[in-house]
Structure 1
């Protein structure tokens, strides 16, 4: 089985540089923010962060393809780096510290490396295929992650981002019914919901509409921690346009309630 340790180390090196840039622009008085065609915000920090990542990858992994939120897809090949320079841009531009850089590597149809770096929270999470999921400040100073063992929905903590997407999908009633049956719900939102699942602090997370770059880095972290990550139709991985992540024990029941 191929190993991806070198790719993971590269992701850490890239994240270190990106963190320095994004933190220098976080709460900057001269931050430039524009609206993209889909009415979502983008800042100068987003674009420069993606340029930094692409520059590193072009030098170190020139044969690999790249898929990014801001500059689309470039290159060809079975190996694709999937990047979101700032996941949580709305938080970033308003001074809320819940945002992160997401870096993933897909080999064929399997995401084999994922790194999530949230410098304003002082947190980083990562995983490579077959080596477990970890959190810490560096590869040398890390704690292994494990999902929870909660086995009943009525005992579960559920995280989500917003209700509007469920309403647009015509599933708001089903989602609200689920929230009423769980022990606790909180809208931690974006990447953080899924990292909390991997840590065992939250038992399930779900979102009705996501892009590939929103999800790819999250998948190996959740699954290497012992969890399950699928789309709402049960297809594994980040390819379905939406996400349900759980500790595995709750997965089938939650999918059933949201179908």
Structure 2
């Protein structure tokens, strides 16, 4: 038991609601897709899912603030709450709209700058991961049917599996040479992408993962799941905040080596 058990249970309820809606619209012939100002796609499922979760939170946690990818920041009824729910209704929208099953709803609760609850739910993969502060990280179908997560014990890059999302993103960030040098130093590299790379780090089947450009809603849930699994989360310059704008996750043993290659 932790101080966040009720919040974790609510996060699972939110994930169940999201899974039902996103799976209903996945591969729908009438799925509507628009382009946002940042030139990334957004579907009617993204918007509807965030609206649904916001409605549930407004009833269940009216004092808490909410930040979502599609509808921005909304203060809670208290106006000064340090608690904020952070939602990415569909992480991996480009996969979602093309019928690729690698996408997830990301739900986190933050107190101040730190996430204290996180759920990543990927219904098309049949997978869910979650964690709460000091409560450990788990994967399974439900709270009552779960397996404790633990990161790997690989100590050397030449034995490590490195996951990422996009080669082009590292080129656009001016770090393509650093990325390639790290890739060559590792035993194996694969572009699993988005949330999945980091959840594999938490599971121990991948040893390190990195992305050069991310938002808070991409990483709030990811950060606490990886750290509660025994791993480490920072930006490329070593900042442990999920709001720092980039992401490096590892089993902890390889983190300094990861930052030495990709750090600013």
Q: Please report the TM-score for the alignment, with normalisation by the length of structure 1.
A: 0.99
Which residue does 1:127 correspond to in 2?
131
Q: How far did residue 2 of structure 1 move? A: 7.0
Distance 1:113 1:15 in 2: 13
Structure 1 residue ranges (4+ consecutive) displaced by more than 6 angstroms after TM superposition: none
Partner of 1:55: 55
1:10 aligns with 2:10: yes
Residues 115-171 of structure 1, C-alpha deviations (whole Å, 9 max, x = no match): 000000000000000010000000000000000000001100000000111111111
Deviation, 1:237, is: 2.8
Distance 1:18 1:38 in 2: 24
Aligned position for 1:156: 160
Deviations 1:183-214 (A, max 9, x none): 00000000000000000000000000001101
Decide whether aligned partners of structure 1 residues 2 and 131 sit closer, same or farther in structure 2, where only a CA change above 3 A counts: closer
Give the TM-score normalised by the residue count of structure 2: 0.97
1:144 match: 148
Say which SS state the counterpart of residue 217 (structure 1) adopts.
helix
Query: 2:230 aligned with 1:226, yes or no?
Result: yes
Residue aligned with 1:48, SS: helix
Report the equivalent of 1:237. 241
2:109 touches 2:118 (CA, 8 Å); kept in 1?
A: yes
Report the counterpart of residue 22 of structure 2 in structure 1: 22
Contact between 1:111 and 1:237, CA under 8 Å: does it hold in 2? no
Aligned counterparts of 1:32 and 1:138: Cα–Cα separation in 2: 31
**Partner SS state of residue 175, structure 1:** helix
Partner residue in 2 for 1:187: 191
Structure 1 unaligned spans of 5+ = none
Gap runs ≥5 in structure 2: none
Task: Say which SS state the counterpart of residue 8 (structure 1) adopts.
Answer: helix
1:160, 1:15 → 2: CA distance?
25
Aligned equivalents of 1:34, 1:194: Cα separation in 2: 28
Per the alignment, residue 106 of structure 1 pairs with 110
- Residue aligning to 2:256: 252
Deviation digits for residues 196-252 of structure 1 (CA, Å, limit 9, x no counterpart): 000000000000000110111101100000000000110113021000000000001
